[in-house]
Amino acid sequence: MFIDIDGLLKALEATGLATKIRDSVFLFPMIESTHVIGLALVFGTIAVIDLRLLGMASTNRSFQRVASDILKWTWAAFALTAVTGALMFTTNASVYYHNFYFRTKMVLLALTGVNMLFFELTAGRTIHQWDQAPSAPRAGKAVAALSLTLWIAVICVGRLIGFTTSRAAAAPPPPVGVSFDDFLK
């Protein structure tokens, strides 16, 4: 059984939404800027939590206090980044899908999820024991260091996508000097 992935990607590019973004002069740059704003907040807030786990900052507050104070904003920013990322993807889906850095970025993003799951299964189970301690147990520190590394890598390969894909061309402008009257003759 085959799924016609290239056909699906082409269909995605042909949707009204994708066409609208491609044809607009300012929509794509605005979506891209919003993506940058979202990713800055995702990485910025995650770094606060990771540095707390490592015992390098915010050690005067309990881990749970720091995490519960911040994580809701992290998720909101992540949603913003995911939506804007998906919108950019639709405009040139088949090119992004086959791009090496795009694929690497998706794998790295999946790994950040696995990393988070690993935290829940290890240090996350014993938070009540180390919540007030200046740093997390070894597994928690490893997760935090890996998280920082993965997110920096996500940002770097993300930037490289823009250098290795040409932006989808908008529909060509209507020919100049042609009048509808010519067609009616």
Partner 1 sequence: MVKQFAEWLSTTSPSVFIQNHNGWVIPAIQSIHIIGIAAVFGAVFMIFLRILGWSGMDQPLRQTTSRFGPWLTGGLWLMLVTGVLMVIGEPVRELVTFSFWVKMFFVAVATVIATVFLGSVRRHDQQWEDTLVKRRSIQGLAILTFVIWVFIIILGRLIAYDHIWGPWSPATKA
Binding site for partner 1 (CB under 8 A): 25-26, 28-30, 32-33, 36-37, 39-41, 43-45, 47-48, 57-58, 60-61, 65, 69-70, 73, 152, 155-156, 159-160, 163
- The torsion angle over the Cα atoms of residues 144, 145, 148 and 152, rounded to 10 degrees, is -160
Angle at which helices 63-91 and 27-53 pack, to 10 degrees?
150
Q: Nearer Cβ to partner 1, position 9 or 147?
A: 147
For the CB of residue 153, give the shortest distance to partner 1 in the complex, in Å: 10
Q: Nearer Cβ to partner 1, position 17 or 40?
A: 40
84 touches 34 (CB < 8 A): yes
Burial 116-154 (b: 16+ CB within 10 A, else e): eebbeebbeeebeebeeeebbeebbbbbbebbbebbeeb
43 touches 11 (CB < 8 A): no
In terms of C-beta density within 10 A (0-12 exposed, 13-18 middle, 19 or more buried), how is residue 38 classed? buried
For the CB of residue 6, give the shortest distance to partner 1 in the complex, in Å: 28
Q: Nearer Cβ to partner 1, position 7 or 29?
A: 29
For the CB of residue 58, give the shortest distance to partner 1 in the complex, in Å: 6
For the CB of residue 116, give the shortest distance to partner 1 in the complex, in Å: 18
Q: Which two tokens stand for residue 129?
A: 């024991």
Q: Nearer Cβ to partner 1, position 107 or 152?
A: 152
What is the spatial distance between Cα 185 and Cα 171, in angstroms, rounded to a whole number? 27
For the CB of residue 130, give the shortest distance to partner 1 in the complex, in Å: 19
Q: Nearer Cβ to partner 1, position 45 or 90?
A: 45
